[in-house]
Amino acid sequence: MNNPVFVRMRDVTARDFAGNNRKESLTVQAISLQRKNWFYGCFIIILGILLFGIANIMTPAAALAAGTDTLEITGDGVTTPLTLTREQLESMEQYQHVYSAINTWPTKKWYVGKGVKLRDLFKQAGMTGDARLIRFTSSDGYVVNLTVKELLEDKRYYFPGLKGNTAKDGDGQIPGSAANPKEVEPILALVSVEGSNNPDYMNDLNSLLLMLGQRAVTEQNGNLFSKYVNKIEVLTAEPEKWDAPQANPVSGEVPAGSMIALSNAHMDDDKIYYTTDGSTPTLNSPMYNWIARRWWSARAEDLGKVNCPVGPVNESTVIKAITIGPGKYDSDVVTFTYQVAGARSEPGTEEPAPGTGEQNKEEEPQQTVNLHDVAGHWALDNIYKLVAQGCISGYPDGSFKPDSTITRAEFAAVLVKAFKLEDTDGKTFTDTAAHWAKDYIAAAAANGLVNGYANGAFGPDDLITREQMAVMIVKAAKLAPAAQAPRFADSGSISAWAKEAVATATENGIMRGYADNTVRPGGSATRAEAVTIIINTLHKTVE
């Protein structure tokens, strides 16, 4: 059909009207009609695009376009290189789990993913025993390198308590609870969701998505969740080793109050872990460079508070540090030793234990105690002292398990023995009448150390938290309340009923925060921490 606009223009020209005004009027009308047609055409196109978009939004997630259509597995570390289609991957056994993650900002996140285990893929490709490095490449060019050891040999977990000690997800530098971890497999997810632990929200927008758990509750693994993976190279080349940390100032004599800054080559994915108690640093030790270098300009105001120097150094101090990160082997452990100018070292002075106060400097008579798993432990002397006094014992196999947790009943029993408390009214709780520690619990209750829960139970087999321990120990020592509230990065997570006790225990040197300025009130106490806090309290009561 002819366009009426052009028909009209042809008619006007054929008649050859006289007068320029008439011609101009007709020309303007023609142009006006042309513009209207153009406008309506554009409107129809835009409307079509909007309707198409709405239709896609309403379409179930599983019908969305896939991020990657094929996966190539290659490299000199496999005997049978593979190219797998999406359909082939979907036909393999599927694994689904929730993953906990922290990125390098740092922010805490949940993920849920469903897909194929990497172990199954590597088995099908004939991964060789001399494979050492695995490289994941995405269709957008992003590359993630992981050693075989860290990906497949080290155990990785989902930590349900990841967000337990934080007020908001952005507080990624505040350690969560490591209690009740669930071992998880590394996978390539066909469907997943970021920022939720609800599988109903899973879709395939980021597939194939590399997903893996944490080796420690503070490990930053979120930057390793790589989307659109379309190639995996399994290589036999030996991975490099990360550069060891450096310290400023270096080892030597320093003024009292000095702060020690740690650094390494990149200060990004290469994380520094350190200790100040003489133990060897691991992934479970305090992290130094929480905020990665890539975010320093964006987080300039927070950088000094989060990536804070170690200190102040007011006594002889030993810092041990290591660099741990993806794609390379851990660095060597380096040691930095500091003496405070003008300070005198006292015989018998010991390094403080993590999360506790100064250890007892008085020597007490000890009987011979043989425990095979405490040699070199930071709490060794305190363990031997309390065992020798008959307040706590090891296990039948000759172990003490210093880093294992301790229950409320066990701590009550040790505390009652250490302070020689007696039961004066025979009080029992609804769940302690038949418990092995009922007499110790009754003595603790009679002396005002415990009240139990609101429902009348005591929870004897519940793990004791650090804030519960602080309340009991402060009551046992009958210490005057602290003048100031506790000042820790996670003070806001201390329960209202425990704030005064935590402040009092820390002010009196019985208990202290960790090197990252947290006190972890809801964290489970260890047997070594319990022993040390009791020894510190006994020392305080005789001062």
Facing residues of 526 across strands? 405
Question: Residue 368 pLDDT > 60, yes or no?
Answer: no
Please tell me the distance from the alpha carbon of residue 394 to that of residue 380, in angstroms, as a whole number: 13
Question: What is the mean pLDDT of the segment spanning 53-74?
Answer: 58
Domains of the chain in start order, with CATH, are 4-58 (no CATH), 70-235 (3.90.420.10), 246-340 (2.60.40), 380-406+463-541 (no CATH)
Query: How do residues 177-229 score in pLDDT, each as one tens digit?
Result: 888 999 999 999 999 999 999 999 999 999 999 999 999 999 999 999 999 99
Q: What are the angstrom distances between the C-alpha of 241 and each of 13, 330, 339, 459? A: 84, 6, 31, 47
Per-residue pLDDT at 452? 82
Report the relative pairing of strands 82-85 and 95-102 from DSSP bridges. Answer: unpaired
Taking CB atoms within 8 Å and a gap of at least 24, the contacts of 195-201 are: 195/109, 195/110, 195/111, 196/110, 196/112, 197/98, 197/110, 197/111, 197/112, 198/112, 199/96, 199/112, 199/114, 201/61, 201/112
Please tell me the distance from the alpha carbon of residue 120 to that of residue 116, in angstroms, as a whole number: 7
Lowest average pLDDT, out of 114-118, 385-389, 501-505, goes to 385-389
Query: How do residues 139-160 score in pLDDT, each as one tens digit?
Result: 999 999 999 999 999 999 999 9
Question: What is the mean pLDDT of the segment spanning 39-52?
Answer: 60
Query: How do residues 485-504 score in pLDDT, each as one tens digit?
Result: 888 888 888 888 999 999 99
Tokens 């994380």 — which residue?
271
Question: Residue 325 pLDDT > 90, yes or no?
Answer: yes
Average confidence score pLDDT of the chain: 83
Q: Which of 150, 155, 175 is nearest to 164 (CA)?
A: 175
* Residues whose CB falls within 8 Å of the CB of residue 108, separated by 6 or more in sequence, listed in order: 100, 101, 102, 162, 163, 166, 169, 171, 172, 176
Radius of gyration of the chain (CA): 33
Query: How do residues 398-410 score in pLDDT, each as one tens digit?
Result: 888 888 889 999 9
Better-predicted residue by pLDDT, 231 or 520: 231
Alpha helix ranges (H) inside 406-514: 408-419, 438-446, 466-477, 499-507
Per-residue pLDDT at 14? 35
Tokens 């997630």 — which residue?
61
Angle of helix 499-507 versus helix 466-477 axis, rounded to 10? 70
Percent of the chain at pLDDT above 90?
A: 50
Please tell me the distance from the alpha carbon of residue 404 to that of residue 79, in angstroms, as a whole number: 43
Query: How do residues 262-309 score in pLDDT, each as one tens digit?
Result: 999 999 999 999 999 888 999 989 999 999 999 998 998 888 888 888
Residue type, 140: D
Quick one: tokens of 166? 């934080």
DSSP 169: T
Coil, strand or helix at 91: helix
Question: Residue 58 pLDDT > 60, yes or no?
Answer: no
